[in-house]
Amino acid sequence: MNHFLDIHKTEQPDLRSIIESAKAMKTARAGRPRGTPDDEQPLQGRMVALIFEKPSTRTRVSFDVGVRQMGGQTMLLSGAEMQLGHGETIADTARVLSRYVDLIMIRTFDESVLYEMAEFSDVPVINGLTDRTHPCQIMADVLTYEEHRGPIAGRKVVWSGDGNNVCASLLHAAARFGFDFTFTGPAQLDPEAEFVGLARDAGCNVRIERDPARAVENADLVVTDTWVSMHDSQSTKERRHNMLRPYQVNEDLMAHARPDALFMHCLPAHREEEVTSAVMDGPQSVIWDEAENRLHAQKAVMRWCMGV
């Protein structure tokens, strides 16, 4: 049984196997209507619980469609329905769910919920997002880069903005896939020192550069994310906008990167805030392929977890 909890918790050969499996499954589906099943039905007769303590569009739809394409069924559960850790412990919830379903995907706030779920579950658990990491997104990003530009190993990836949970998983991926990583953003929003150290210990060239133009010089990939959360107060939003405005990804900033550099954003995006529409809709943007690849990457993750 394999849990998929974080990229740095998964061995490099397994991660590479997942990426190659995702490529193969995407190729096999080329030209098919979205609702048609895959030729292989590895989840036939399997039930997958999709737990959402945090709301979602891409994670919910991509996991649900992926399970169905592979022949399985899904059970969607909200945080309000389950009240994880309130009344019944997370450990007991994990024990019970393990008697009903074959696989659990959870999108939650505190990563301790994820790890406790995995510890006491008798079936594989997948991290659909926590406040600290977002590994499924980064597996889709690696898939997207490689289908456009070939192996990501040795490339220069630049993150501009807030060193958040997506940024953290990108640092984990640098350690496992062997690319260079540069963070540019305000010091108050630096990525966690633990994750920076993890990538450096793995031999990655990790830089923190406050000047965004210098940071993206010779970049092969530029990545950003939203500056604010839906839960932030108005005063917090204004403060974060003031801090992050110099790190907006716009045409001037992209001009400092390599001519064939790609742009990614996990979405949803706030146009004209962290990124301009000119970049999002421009020739270097691969955000729609990136969004689609959540489906293919997560199907490969589920197959790996289930050993099918």
Query: Which residue out of 132, 225, 248, 305 is catalytically annotated?
Result: 225
DSSP 8-state secondary structure symbol assigned to residue 201? H
Query: Which residue out of 8, 58, 134, 176 is catalytically annotated?
Result: 134
Q: Across-strand partners of 208?
A: 183
Query: Which residue out of 167, 204, 266, 305 is catalytically annotated?
Result: 266
Annotated active-site residue 266? The verdict is: yes
What does the buried/exposed string (b/e) look like for 6-34 if buried means 16 or more CB atoms within 10 Å of the residue's CB?
bbbebeeeebeebbebbbebbeebeeeee
Place of tokens 């996990």: 266
Spatial CA neighbour of 212 closest among 253, 261, 163, 264: 253
Is the backbone peptide bond immediately before 268 cis, with ω within 30 degrees of 0? yes
Q: CB-based contacts of 197: which residues, under 8 Å, 6+ apart?
A: none
Type of residue at 69: Q
Annotated active-site residue 137? The verdict is: yes
Q: What angle do CA 23, 27, 30 make, to 5 degrees?
A: 145
Query: Which residue out of 69, 137, 248, 298 is catalytically annotated?
Result: 137
3-state secondary structure of 270: coil
Annotated active-site residue 60? The verdict is: no
Query: Which residue out of 29, 294, 296, 303 is catalytically annotated?
Result: 294
Annotated active-site residue 107? The verdict is: yes
Query: Which residue out of 8, 107, 176, 303 is catalytically annotated?
Result: 107
Q: What are the residue numbers of the active site?
A: 107, 134, 137, 225, 266, 294
